[in-house]
Structure 1
């Protein structure tokens, strides 16, 4: 007797299961109108942050604007269902990666409407936005963004005494300075007692030849003379060993500049502050040239460069003619 006749109700193993129906809504004028009464200021801020900085992880979003990752996850699920944001989970060899979020179609159209822009003229395409899931630059982008969301979390914890007052993405920096140099980000940090510090960030993952990294100082030197503004360059390395090797190459390149004071440089690594491995505000920065002084926190780093002018009301990153692009979001979330 065949197995089929003996067990007539048994189904073959590994039968393909039907796909679960998607609960995500279609983007239409009616849907966008309904969202007008559902989106909070924080939701809109998050959408603008994702447009500006391309991708943020669940942990980074929770750091920046929610009391916990669990609370963030609950709201993000709603925004995902409404097509304000999209998500993906990249492969990792060990454990599981956190969910990553990008801007979706409804979110882009809402931001365009807020700024009075034609959504079809924005440099936004959903395929490009979600395509970062397969990009080799994904770890670099999330690593850079994670430093700034850590600063936001610190500012939220310490109240008005510390604040991240500017955070520019790599894309925005490229639009303004890309003909000379392409920083990974620009930031400005205000400390109630120590004052304001601004910087260009170079986030290194250990893949770039050190001589090529050192040659960037020449480009920053040109930028300082072109803009007549002196902005420190902070370089973040993945290990103390990588930082030590880079400092040798950077010191030689810095010494050969026509006017080294126009390019203040400081370095750090993830291992430089074990108690706060991802906190740029911690006492972790070591200025060039080498000195016996200990590593400095971000707030007092400018004291290492006596000839550095104070941060002025107008800086190299303030001249923003957005054109068809969107206005950048404030780095701190709405209350």
Structure 2
């Protein structure tokens, strides 16, 4: 696949990590038509992923699309130099945060050209990266993306397992916002078992009563659409997990919802593992996502996933992994 021309100077020409504020870029961005000829299918996939999921770290991108962290850093810096991507590094109390990548001005222009729409219709603004960097929901959004990126990347080492479908909060709201507004919707697949699920990523900032109130919407969704996805509730700590379980057990039983909970104390490196505890009745011991799929039958994928005439190239689900590997980039 063709590679972007490497800049003669600046971070795109070498592999040293720099904060985004120290990365000079040409004042005039590369012509979109000329740039498109140099972007690989993986570059275009990444631009669509960032349009869909807003922000991904270097490590998340590497796990999804590259054979090594070094090769990911090399390409990401080149894409940043050509304004396909923007980036920032949040301040941390200790150590250094990884680079956080967002859709840049040239990347947004390329996506708009591919979709046949104006840049304004894309929803991208010059303040796009700043709004994300200073958003109070940044930690929440990164937590959602980290959990699901690990599930999606599983298929790179275990081909029979992975995440063939992953919709962002924004895509979920566009499809089902009048009934439910989950933090994500996805399908976990392992062999012949599939677990379609909504994700509620709980950071502990909401009172337990507000989390409980969301269950009525999921029950209404099942009734209105005649589909039955599971609901996974992920929390920050095991103690918060236990508090939620005590609060949600009775309403989950009354509403006949398939709910399992877990926390970052367990799922940090392998969220597909035996860390998910179903709410009763029955065995509530922690188990895997694959075992939940086998236990909860019949489950069904959420409605409104098939393309319609109202869909555009930018509203269709983005494959969680690049469509094809791009050698040499």
Q: CA deviation at 1:228?
A: 1.2
Match of 1:167 in 2: 166
**Which residue among 280, 286, 289 is the counterpart of 2:271?**
280
Quick one: distance in 2 between partners of 1:39 and 1:289?
Answer: 50
Q: Which has the larger radius of gyration?
A: 1
Q: CA deviation at 1:23?
A: 3.3
Q: Say how many residue pairs are matched.
A: 303
Which TM-score applies when normalising by structure 1? 0.84
Q: CA deviation at 1:118?
A: 2.7
Give RMSD over aligned pairs.
Answer: 2.1
SS at match of 2:239: helix
Q: Give deviations 1:215-272, integer Å, cap 9, x for gaps.
A: 1111110111111111110000111111000001101222343xx1xx2111111223
SS at match of 1:87: strand
Q: CA deviation at 1:318?
A: 3.6
Match of 2:187 in 1: 188
Q: Give deviations 1:47-90, integer Å, cap 9, x for gaps.
A: 00000000001111111111122211110111001110000001
Matches within 5 A, 1:243-262: 243-257=241-255, 260=256
CA contact (8 A) 1:115 1:327 kept: no
For the structure 1 residues 292 and 326, does the alpha-carbon distance in structure 2 shift closer, same or farther, using more than 3 Å as the test? closer
Matches within 5 A, 1:1-335: 22-24=24-26, 26-27=28-29, 31-159=31-159, 161-192=160-191, 194-257=192-255, 260=256, 263-272=257-266, 277-289=268-280, 291-292=282-283, 294-305=285-296, 308-311=297-300, 315-318=303-306, 321-322=310-311, 325-333=314-322, 334-335=324-325
SS at match of 1:102: strand
CA contact (8 A) 2:184 2:199 kept: yes
Quick one: distance in 1 between partners of 2:316 and 2:126?
Answer: 19
SS at match of 1:142: helix
Quick one: distance in 1 between partners of 2:25 and 2:125?
Answer: 22
Which TM-score applies when normalising by structure 2? 0.86
SS at match of 2:200: strand
Q: Which runs of 5+ in 2 are unaligned?
A: 1-20
CA contact (8 A) 2:87 2:129 kept: no
For the structure 1 residues 309 and 325, does the alpha-carbon distance in structure 2 shift closer, same or farther, using more than 3 Å as the test? same
Quick one: distance in 1 between partners of 2:230 and 2:88?
Answer: 35
Quick one: distance in 2 between partners of 1:234 and 1:74?
Answer: 36
SS at match of 2:247: helix
For the structure 1 residues 316 and 120, does the alpha-carbon distance in structure 2 shift closer, same or farther, using more than 3 Å as the test? closer
Q: CA deviation at 1:20?
A: 7.2
Q: Which runs of 5+ in 1 are unaligned?
A: 1-18
Quick one: distance in 1 between partners of 2:130 and 2:315?
Answer: 19
Match of 2:16 in 1: none
For the structure 1 residues 65 and 226, does the alpha-carbon distance in structure 2 shift closer, same or farther, using more than 3 Å as the test? same
Q: Which runs of 4+ in 1 moved over 6 A?
A: none
Quick one: distance in 2 between partners of 1:147 and 1:322?
Answer: 27
For the structure 1 residues 113 and 94, does the alpha-carbon distance in structure 2 shift closer, same or farther, using more than 3 Å as the test? same
